[in-house]
Structures are given as structure tokens and as C-alpha cells.
Amino acid sequence: MQMRKIFLVLVLTVVALVGSGVRAEDAEKPWSVDLNVAFMSDYMFRGQNLYDGASIQPYIGAGYDTGYGTIGAYNWSHISADGSANVEEFFEMDWGLTYELALDPVTVTVGNLWYTYPNDNDDIEDTTESFISLALDDSSYNDFYTINPKFTASKDWDVFDYYYYELNFSHTYEGGVLGDGVSMTPYVTFGFTSDGEKVYEDDGLVQVSEGISVTMPLGNMTVSPSINYTHKVDDLTVDQFWFGVTLGYSL
């Protein structure tokens, strides 16, 4: 628990210091760094509530544009905060490597993820997952109402040995009555699985989630509150209203 608190303090300190610093130069650069921390009411993942209580989720990611695609790496964590009496706290730290290639109007991303649970007992096992995603920029041919379709296929190669597929649609409103620099994005996500008997009751559609987020500038940082709802489709998913706010900074 002490290590978790130290880790959290370090992450928040970095975000605060960077956010209060000088804005990065506007010149084109091949690299990027993103820092953010989310404070969520629950830890929701693919239709399941993995932690029924407040979840603190720091993230740091970096990317480098090689001219032939962007190579990226990131670290994401879940830190259990206040939860219900029947839920055991745990600490999760995930690592990811990605490669992204823009083939207008489609962006292809492939990657590998490592889900790890340091300092927790053997009841939670580390696992590994690979994925590919296809994101379509439909603004190139749709002037009326873009829905930015994105399809992701993931395969757990280790503990759960299952496939998970996700289809996401979203639309971003910017400026206007929202104000300068403010954007609002409603979304809907459909989650499917196959060979998922270790995670879900049945194969096929297992969850539907929808929500809306608003991103606002705060000095050199951004603040993004969100509200979301997940619909129970499978017996092992849940009906859940969840919400949170994310503080972010990009170099």
C-alpha cells in the first residue's frame, strides 16, 4: 500500500509540474509524450466492473514517428481507492508496445499488452494480449455527420486464451456554443467475444456501453469529465453507471 501511495504522488507531481511549465514549441517534431491521470467512480473493463469503487488511473505514453509509421510505448495503472466493503483492493500496472500506420482514410494499429499485478497475491495472474485495430476517418467522404468507426480485435495468449472484438462509433463537436478549445464527444461501443468461457458466460455480443466526454483547456493542460453507462448483455457483465474526470498534458 505504501508503494502505491508513493507511485500516485509521483505521477500527480509530474502532471502538475508539467502542466504548470512552459508550453511546448509549436514546431513539428517526430516524438510525442502524453501524461494523464483519471479519477473514475469504478474500474470498468469490457462490460465488467473489476473494482466496485473509486479507481485512480495514471497513464504515460510516448511515440516516435519514423516516417514509416509511429512506434509507441505506454504504461497504464489502476490504483484502488475507496471501495465497497466486499471488494478487495488491488494494484494493476499494464505495459504496451504499439505500431501505428496511417493509410488514409484508414489508420492501422497493432500492439502487444502486458497486464501485471505487482505486490498482489497469486489470485490475480499476469497475462499477455495482442491486438489490431482499424480506424476509419469517414470525414474524407462524409460531410454530413462523421461517426469515426473503429474496429479492434484482441487475443489473450496466456491466462484467458480468448478473443475480444470491439466496434466503436463516436462524433466530436468542437467550438461554437461550447466555447473556444472545448469539444464534446458522445460514443457507443459494442463488445463481442469468442472462446470466452473463462471470462464470459456466452460467446457473441457481451456488452454495450455509451457515454459522453467533454474536453476543456486548463492552462497547458486539459480537463475531461465523462459520464458512461454499460448495459448487461452477458450474465457475467453488469448494468453500470460510471463517471470520472481526466487531467491530461501532451508534449
Domain residue ranges in the chain: 2-22+29-250
With a CB cutoff of 8 Å and minimum separation 6, the contacts of 5 are: none
- Cα distance between residue 249 and residue 244, in whole Å: 17
pLDDT at 2 > cutoff 50: no
pLDDT at 10 > cutoff 80: no
**Which DSSP symbol is given to 176?**
G
Mean pLDDT of 151-169: 98
Does domain 2-22+29-250 fall under CATH 3.40.50.800? My reply is no
Q: What pLDDT shows up at residue 122?
A: 63
CA angle (44 as vertex; 178, 6 as ends), nearest 5: 90
Cα–Cα nearest to 185, from 226, 219, 149, 130? 226
Mean pLDDT for all residues in the chain: 89
**Would you place residue 207 in the very low, low, confident or very high pLDDT band (cuts 50, 70, 90)?**
very high
**Would you place residue 176 in the very low, low, confident or very high pLDDT band (cuts 50, 70, 90)?**
confident
Residue type for 158, please? D
Give the cell for residue 12: 500527480
**Which DSSP symbol is given to 18?**
H
Q: Which of 67-81, 118-132, 194-208, 231-245 has the lowest mean pLDDT?
A: 118-132
**Would you place residue 142 in the very low, low, confident or very high pLDDT band (cuts 50, 70, 90)?**
confident
pLDDT at 25 > cutoff 50: no
Q: What pLDDT shows up at residue 83?
A: 59
More confident residue, 40 or 181: 40
More confident residue, 220 or 121: 220
How far, CA to CA in Å, does 11 sit from each of 31, 35, 80? 21, 9, 15
Q: What pLDDT shows up at residue 121?
A: 59
